[in-house]
Each structure stands twice: as structure tokens, then as C-alpha cells.
Amino acid sequence: MDSSTSKPTFFERLSSLLLREPEDREQLMQLLHSACERNLLDADALSITEGALSASETAVRDVMVPRAQMDTIDLNDSLDEIRRTVIDTAHSRFPVHDGDRDNVVGILLAKDLLRLGGETSCDLRDWLRPVVFIPESKRLNVLLREFRVSRNHMAIVVDEYGGVAGLVTIEDVLEQIVGDIEDEYDFDEADDQIRLDQSGRYRVKARTRIDDFNQAFGCALAGDGIDTVGGLILAELGHVPKRNESIELAGFRFRVLRADRRRVYTLLVEQLPAADRAVPTA
């Protein structure tokens, strides 16, 4: 067979694809999608590449946590108040302000509170890390590079007048590139009410309606005048449970995954083996 009429080899096709120089970003994306269709690039790599390219066009204001949703600590709060805030919100870093919320003076790491042990008072300034201020217009690719160089994980976003507009973390930036980084609390913001856990158990939002729970699990939970699973748990316990507190009802064990002083947010539910179920008394 004449070599001039033979089909190009894999390496020839790959070289041909890579040697075509795109003239703009649109052509570059077409080239990447073509590579994916030819199995020269897998879908995950394509998605990450698209995310990395979009990061150079995305401003901090588009991904930041707005000021109204920020969990902060006042420098003048007592240690007990600070500990409650840290436990209730379960963040690892907190902006600390001195009175006015625009006057952010540092970042407090939750782990530093452990070093205080049972102390009832201290000068919180001694435990603060330096705070980084950035403009709303900063691009994510630039911010990521600065995070890597400085080893900071959080920055305070300021508006054109110098006021606090929000905050952004390295996780916020990475999620724009590689997709959502799910932690144990992300389920609280998801649309679904019941989700299968990796362990084979189920995460159930406390606001799930009892009728929906019964339909999903084929059971017959009932609460007189109570509409939600969380409401039923509160009624049975007689108090707002703490994290990891559990109760058994109708052949199920409900363990609290997340709660604060006022309400329950997420439950871990597992069906008990028949031998372990409590036998109702007459």
C-alpha cells in the first residue's frame, strides 16, 4: 500500500491537532472539545481546563460571600461568646472586627482557640493572623496565585469606598476551576431533602416533611400536628439536640449531624435491623 494514501497514525493526528494554533479563545475551546471527542482529552481534564480559562475572566465579586452573609467576630466579644460563634458556625477562619464591621483587624483561626484551653479572658489581638484586603475587581487567577505565594486562605473584599463588601476563600476560587468541593455542610444548601451517604446511610434535612419521609422509606412515622422530621425529633426529645445526639423511632436511628441552639438542620438516618428494634409495649 502506498504510504501517501495510508491513514495517519495516532501520533500524526495528535500532532496535527496540537499544531493548529487557535486565533482566539473560542477557537481554543473548539480545539479542546474536538480533542475530547477524539478521546485525546478526557471529560474531567476538559472541565478543569475550561474552569481555569474562565477564572481569568471572573472577578472576585462574582464568587465572594456577601457582607450580609459573613460570620464575623467582634474583638470586644468575650471568649465564651467567641467559642459559641465558632461552634455554631463551624468555620475554620473568622474575620475579626473592632466594633464597626468595616474595621477588620485580623483573621482568627478556630484551632488557635484550642490553645487557650479553659481561659476566660485574653487579648484576642495576640492570636490574630494578618488580614489581606483585595478589590472586588480582582481576577480569580491572579488571586489564586497570590494565595499560593502568601499561603493565605482567606481575603476580605472591599468596595471602591474602602468598605467591606464580602470575603473570599481559596476554596471559592478552586471550586470555579475544579467544580464544587463538597463538605459535610454543603448538603444543607442542596435542593434534595434525602441523600444516600457513602456509608450506606441517609442524610435527611430536618425540614423534610414526614409524609415525604414515609413515602421514601416505606414507613409510618407520625406526629400529632407536626409536619417535619426535625419537628418530630424535637417533640420526642423535648429539647433542641446537640450534634451527634441520637434517638430511635419506628425502626430508625436518627443522629444529629448539624444543629445550633435553636434548630436542627441535618440528620443521619439508618434503618435498624429487626433484632435491634424496640418492641412497643401494650
Angle, helix 210-217 to helix 229-237, in steps of 10 degrees:
100
What DSSP letter does each residue of 78-146 carry, written as one string? -HHHHHHHHHHH--SEEEEESSSTT-EEEEEEHHHHHTTTT-S---GGGGPBPP-EEETT-BHHHHHHH
Residue 155's pLDDT band, with cuts at 50, 70 and 90, is very high
Q: Per-residue pLDDT tens for 82-95? A: 888 888 887 889 99
**Of the candidates 150, 168, 173, 148, which has an alpha carbon nearest to the alpha carbon of residue 158?**
168
Residue 73, strand partner residues: 96
Contacts 24+ apart (CB under 8 A), 48-56: 48/177, 48/178, 51/176, 51/177, 51/178, 51/179, 52/141, 52/177, 53/25, 53/28, 53/29, 54/176, 55/139, 55/140, 55/141, 55/144, 55/173, 55/176, 55/177, 56/139, 56/140, 56/141
Residue 1's pLDDT band, with cuts at 50, 70 and 90, is very low
Q: Does position 126 have pLDDT exceeding 90, yes or no?
A: no
Taking a C-beta distance cutoff of 8 angstroms, is the pair 89, 113 a contact?
A: no
Grid cell 429539647 in the structure block, residue:
239
Q: Is 256 exposed, middle or buried (0-12, 13-18, 19+ CB in 10 A)?
A: buried
Distance CA 225, CA 228 (A): 10
pLDDT mean across residues, the chain: 79
Q: Does position 60 have pLDDT exceeding 60, yes or no?
A: yes
Looking at per-residue pLDDT, the higher value among 70 and 17 belongs to 70
Q: Per-residue pLDDT tens for 12-39? A: 555 555 555 656 667 777 777 777 777 7
Phi and psi, residue 214, nearest 5°: -60, -40
Distance CA 84, CA 133 (A): 27
Q: Per-residue pLDDT tens for 183-233? A: 545 555 555 778 876 556 788 998 899 999 999 888 888 877 888 999 999
Q: Does position 8 have pLDDT exceeding 70, yes or no?
A: no
In the numeric block, which cell numbers belong to residue 61? 465579586
Phi and psi, residue 144, nearest 5°: -60, -40
Grid cell 419537628 in the structure block, residue:
231
Tell me, what's the pLDDT at 22?
57
Q: Which amino acid, 247?
A: I
